[in-house]
């Protein structure tokens, strides 16, 4: 899978720690990463969407 610059930056940040979205974040920007299994996503009790990188995501950016 060819990553865009935004996707690569997002994965690089997730490699350091999980991330919760601000209220107006456009989740379609990173939906392809979740669909490809490079990140997992879930909803927190506050309604924010959180993202964590998977082992496949780390491999995609050369982190494994």
Q: Which domain holds residue 53?
A: 5-60
One DSSP character per residue, 10-56 reads: HHHHHTTS-EE--TT--GGGTHHHHHTTSEEEEE-TTS-EEEEE-HH
What's the whole-number mean pLDDT along residues 37-62?
Answer: 93
pLDDT at 39: 97
* Average pLDDT of the chain, as a whole number: 92
Q: How many domains does the chain have?
A: 1
CATH of the domain at 9: 1.10.10
Local confidence band at 50 (pLDDT 50, 70, 90 cut-offs): very high
The pLDDT, as a whole number, for residue 47 is 84
Give the pLDDT band of residue 59 (cuts 50, 70, 90): very high
Listing from the earlier edge strand, what are the strands of the sheet with 49-53?
A: 19-20, 49-53, 39-43
Res 64: pLDDT: 60
């Amino acid at each position: 899978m060819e990553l865009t610059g935004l996707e690569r930056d997002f994965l690089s940040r997730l490699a350091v720690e999980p991330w919760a979205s601000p209220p107006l974040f456009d989740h379609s920007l990173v939906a392809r990463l979740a669909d490809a299994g490079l990140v997992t996503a879930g909803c927190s009790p506050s309604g924010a969407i959180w993202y964590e990188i998977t082992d496949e995501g780390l491999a995609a950016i050369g982190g494994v």
